Structure 1
Amino acid sequence: MKGLVLALACLQLAEGVVRCRINLKKGESIREKMRAAGVLDDYLKKIKYDPVKKYSSKKGYVVNQPITNHLDSSYFGEISIGTPPQKFLVLFDTGSSNFWVPSIDCKSPACFNHAKFKPSESNTFTPNGRSLTVTYGSGSVTVVLGSDTLRIQNITVTNQDFGLSQEEPTQPFYFADFDGILGMAFPSLAVGGMPTAVQGMLQQDQLAEPIFSFYFSRQPTYQYGGELVLGGIDPRLFHGAITWAPVTQELYWQVTVEEFAVGQSVTGCCSQGCQAIVDTGTFLLTVPQEYIESILQALGAQETSYGYAVDCEEIENMPPITFTISGAQLPLYPSSYVLNTNGYCTLGIEVTYLPSQDTQPLWILGDVFLKEYYTIFDTAYSRVGFARSA
């Protein structure tokens, strides 16, 4: 695990309301680590044909939590658990709901190079003894449950339930710069009925408002990848109006896509309705299986072992792809959806293998999309807001 350089700045906004920023360094890409280790191709072949199983009054604080990214980019930041605090880097994941970190008892190789929670060193830890398995697209994690004090800057949640991993899949977790995952989807998605960390924050009046929001830098560096704002919205991180979309199912942060266009051509793909999961734990933009061929043709892409390749010299001439959500057009430009890795250019898209809950075609708006749009998750009104990132 690479060292972190931390810079702390807290601002008293009002009585009982504090905003803090912690600048974290950006972790190295897991994709490049796995490629260097010679295991990326086999891993991508293995998961390509597997279903995405993952889709299984004012008080408190406003906390700005800068975050860094993973794989190509997933975003994570620092928390602590226990008394005295034990520090961990966790992936803040709006596409899952369980919260876990590695345990000192974990014997999987993926746990060897990560921070591990030591229950005996926390005088506020309470064991639960119940075990469960949480399944993600990249594999399953077996955890034993316990509870302890969770801290994220000024936010303190006592008796927060969390998992202590006993087994983790070697790939890709061995190559991850984050230690665990803090799921931020709805409680109904949590495996085993486990209370979520967001629930704990809300129930203990730790958030100034019942919302959280994400800003992902378009040009993340090791120093800074973006920010998670807990309990508020930061107007400095976006401009223009906010488009609000109601959540259609309180499992994922799922909204309706009314239309999808490539360039000036309205595809009609979503004329009968499409759904989209807004997921900070997925890097790519995922496309329903039935639409992928026509989209690749429209973008001039060719399928290769490393993804859907395009000519790097043609990026500027490629069309935007536009989602219509709640009547607003949200374009995504080639500078966002084309990934340039050492002069080799691929589309930042893949096929959605997750079956739709209601037969409507399903998209996943991952970090490729979210880099362009400051995204607000409103738990009080079950809605998602999108605004152009600053």
Structure 2
Amino acid sequence: MANSTDITSSSLGDDYAVRRASTPPAVAPPAADPPAATADDPGLPLGQNLVEQASVITPAVTPRTANTVGVSIVGEDDEYIALVQIGTPPREFKMIVDTGSADFWVGSETCTVPQPAGRAPLGCGNHPFLGPKSSTSFREVTGSRWTGSYTTGQMAGTLVTDNVKVGPLVLLNHPFGVAKTLTQEITELTCDGIMGLGQSSLARQRGQLSIVDSLVKQRVIAKPIVSIKMSRLLDRKNDGQVTFGGLDPTKFNPKTLVTVPNVSRLGLWEAPIDSVTANGRTITFAGGARTALMDTGSSINAIPRADATAIVTALGGQTDPTDGEFVLPCNTRAQLAFTIGKQAFTIDTRDLIVENPGAVACAMTLLPQTLSDSHGSPNGWVLGAPFLKNVYLSLDSQANTIGLAKLI
């Protein structure tokens, strides 16, 4: 969920619905791109069909590595959530793991959904909420105002402090946002909030530290490093996890580990791309080098149309004439690889398409999308779960670097 200057993944789910076609469409002129994604946008929102699937949660196995919390799968790799305990007594919240934002937030006990004039506000859905009634350690920061804006809706509330437990790690009086108003679309999501893993400079409210920086400040971990392994439902391993303070060497091949500078000026995690190959052929892009945001909160790869079309054409894909999005044969064996830090990382063919049993053509997880200037780079892309399920990702705020390695 990459964040806007005021912000799922993520992204609060990916709202550009991935179409399911039964026959290969004829190639049509490109349709207009979807609305621009912004750097505070928690992802590209889920279509209605994916929202319905997303009610099913596949729990993660309990990690054996220190300073680590499991990451469960929502739907068919639609969202990735960690179970986080907040308050006194502690209660469990389902939090999207989002490297595309830095905010940590949940809903308030007084949360409502505003309605048109003359109609009473609605409640905020079937979620746990936080406030002084449920937590004796809850404190509201006097005079604070906290807001968020996502492609799926908006929220507003205040900055608070309370105790937070992420896996085995305990934070006392961690500052974060509590939403007192939400738009209806957000209340219908599976998650109860977001755990942003971007840098603190990306957070919306002065004084709000990222969860990683807060762990370092309270000396719970020594280094501001967070490392992520995202699981794939079809593999049935359910071994997704987030490790704080270092890396888990049992999850990746150390010989393939590369470290590249984080080139984002906004507190996001943005890596330079050396090259892209489709079916073994290097693709040439006009206008200079490309970069990509590493966004665990997004369930798609979002790339501007000209670049995306070049990739899809090289893969043997086509454009759906009804919406301008891309499809590949459902039995495709296409190979797509991104070279970063002189190391090629190949996307599993299963992650290139949305499975549609019985269909001939399947929607791609690569969507054409114009990225707004708040991305920080005119040639920037967003690489979400379809790419990140294929790598081990490590983010170091102190060194301002991004580490990538092949999984084992």
**Interval of TM-score (by shorter of Structure 1 and Structure 2):** 0.7 to 0.9
Query: Of 384, 387, 390, which residue of structure 1 is paired with 2:405?
Result: 387
Question: Which moved further from structure 2: 102-111 or 361-370?
Answer: 102-111
For residues 207-251 of structure 1, the C-alpha deviation after alignment (integer angstroms, 9 at most, x for no partner) is 254311111123358993611112221122122420111101251
The equivalent residue for 1:124 is: 137
What is the match of residue 13 of structure 1?
Answer: none
Q: What residue is the counterpart of 1:350 in the other structure? A: 367
Deviation at 1:271, TM superposition (A): 7.4
Q: Distance in 2 between matches of 1:163 and 1:296?
A: 40
Does 64-73 or 133-142 show the bigger shift?
64-73
Which whole-Å CA distance do the structure 2 matches of 1:188 and 1:270 have between them? 32
Cα 1:197–1:31 change in 2 (3 A) is closer
1:381 partner letter: A
Q: Does 1:254 align with 2:267?
A: no
Residue type matched to 1:202 in 2?
V
Q: Is residue 2:220 matched to residue 1:206?
A: yes
Counterpart of 1:77 (choices 82, 91, 94) is 82
Residues 23-71 of structure 1, C-alpha deviation per residue, up to 9 Å, x if partnerless?
Answer: xxxxxxx789x99xxxxxxxxxxx9732213536xxxx93221112346
SS in 2 for 1:296: helix
Q: Which residue of 1 aligns with 2:68?
A: 64
Provide structure 2 residue ranges, at least 5 long, that are not aligned to the other structure. 1-12, 19-31, 42-64, 114-121
What does 1:31-180 align with in structure 2 at a 5 Å threshold? 49-55=34-40, 62-70=66-74, 72-108=77-113, 111-129=124-142, 130-171=144-185, 173-180=186-193
Equivalent of 2:342, from 320, 323, 327? 327
Q: What is the CA deviation profile of residues 117-164 of structure 1, one whole-angstrom value per residue up to 9, with x for unaligned ones?
A: 132332222111412211223222212211111111321111211111
Q: Hey, what's the Cα distance between the residues in 1 that align with 2:101 and 2:398?
A: 19
Contact 1:257 1:323 in 2 (8 A): yes
**SS across alignment from 1:234:** coil
Cα distance in 2 for residues equivalent to 1:151 and 1:48: 41
Structure (1/2) with the larger helix percentage: 1
| Amino acid in the other structure paired with 2:205 | G
Q: Give the CA deviation at 1:205.
A: 1.1
1:359–1:54 Cα change, 3 Å = closer
Change (3 A) 1:271 1:48: closer
Write out per-residue CA displacement over residues 292-325 of structure 1, whole angstroms, 9 at most, x where no aligned residue. Answer: 2222322322325595222213x12x2x222121
Q: Distance in 2 between matches of 1:266 and 1:331?
A: 13
Q: 1:180 to 1:221 in 2, by over 3 A?
A: farther
Q: How does 1:148-297 map to 2 (within 5 A)?
A: 148-171=162-185, 173-193=186-206, 194-219=208-233, 224=238, 226-239=240-253, 240-250=255-265, 251-269=267-285, 272-297=288-313
Task: With a CA cutoff of 8 Å and minimum separation of 6, indicate the structure with the bigger relative contact order.
Answer: 2
| 8 Å CA contact 1:287, 1:350 repeated in 2 | yes
State the one-letter code of the partner of 2:403: G
Distance 1:185 1:54, change over 3 A: same
SS in 2 for 1:107: strand
Q: Report SS of the residue matched to 1:310.
A: strand
State whether residues 70 and 167 of structure 2, in contact with CA within 8 Å, keep that contact through their aligned partners in structure 1.
Answer: no
Report if aligned partners of 2:302, 2:382 keep a CA contact under 8 Å in 1.
yes
Alpha-carbon distance in 2 for matches of 1:335, 1:125: 44
**Alignment-mate amino acid for residue 66 of structure 1:** G
Contact 2:106–2:178 (8 Å) recurs in 1: yes
Shift of 1:285: 1.1
TM-score, length basis structure 2: 0.76
How far residue 206 of structure 1 moved from its aligned partner, in angstroms, is 1.0
| Gaps in structure 1 of 5+ consecutive residues | 1-29, 36-46
- Cα RMSD for the two superposed structures: 2.7
Give, in angstroms, the shift of residue 280 of structure 1: 0.6
TM-score (ref. length: structure 1): 0.79
The answer to which of 130-139 and 244-253 deviates more is: 130-139
More strand by share: 1
Amino acid of the structure 2 residue aligned with 1:155: L
Is the contact made by 2:104 and 2:211 (CA closer than 8 Å) also made in structure 1?
Answer: yes
Distance in 1 (CA, whole Å) between partners of 2:182 and 2:165 is: 24
One-letter code aligned to 2:297: G
Name the CA distance, whole Å, in 2 between partners of 1:382 and 1:294. 31
